Structure 1
């Protein structure tokens, strides 16, 4: 798959995690607490501005889910290898309320994640 385009979402930011499968994978299913290899793109909900992308670095990244923001911990399990999923994550499940010290604090984030492997 190639780098995704994130469609701008109209309306107010959701107050709950929104999970949307763009492509349903055929491979192994990611379990809570698993290590996952992903390609991902992150944009701010309000502006649509990209803030992070493994695609721009030219390589996927592998990490354990338990070390990630809650929106990823809750949003990736159940996804299958080969799939592409969009997560819209409110601040409470991302980097906390405005003023929490992270540059993305207080922001609703949208990630498009391609699951390449799970262990």
Structure 2
């Protein structure tokens, strides 16, 4: 018997954006403001202006978790979204542990919520 796994990204809200023709696509560099929260509301990461290349993480390589990557694609400058990312599109059963302290940053099987605004696309 085969099991079908349903992976879904839930976009809760989309705010108005400017009329810029630039959209986020794979390989572009973006400047974003974001806040990442756990189900209990604890903030595990935030930035008022993070700059990175939009690239999905391959196993063992740097990049974005698939839910964050998928949520950014197609966004425009000034657009805001709330992304609810299931564990399968985030850090899964492994979670995230600080290698220096052993502190659990993101628990295993955590659903993550990100409020994201695109500040610039380069």
| Greater gyration radius | 2
Quote how far apart the aligned CAs of 1:109 are. 0.2
Quote how far apart the aligned CAs of 1:90 are. 0.5
Is residue 2:14 matched to residue 1:22? Answer: yes
Q: Which runs of 5+ in 2 are unaligned?
A: 1-6, 56-62, 97-104
Higher strand share: 2
Query: Which whole-Å CA distance do the structure 1 matches of 2:76 and 2:116 have between them?
Result: 11
Is residue 2:103 matched to residue 1:81? Answer: no
Say which SS state the counterpart of residue 25 (structure 1) adopts.
coil
User: Against the structure 1 CA distance between its residues 101 and 51, is the aligned structure 2 distance closer, same or farther, given a 3 Å change threshold?
Assistant: closer
Quote how far apart the aligned CAs of 1:101 are. 5.2
The answer for the alignment partner of 1:115 in structure 2 is 118
Say which SS state the counterpart of residue 51 (structure 1) adopts.
strand
Is residue 2:35 matched to residue 1:41? Answer: yes
* Runs of 4+ that moved beyond 4 A: none
Quote how far apart the aligned CAs of 1:92 are. 0.9
The answer for the alignment partner of 1:71 in structure 2 is 67
Say which SS state the counterpart of residue 31 (structure 1) adopts.
coil
Q: How many residues align?
A: 98
Quote how far apart the aligned CAs of 1:118 are. 1.2
Quote how far apart the aligned CAs of 1:52 are. 1.2
Say which SS state the counterpart of residue 68 (structure 2) adopts.
helix
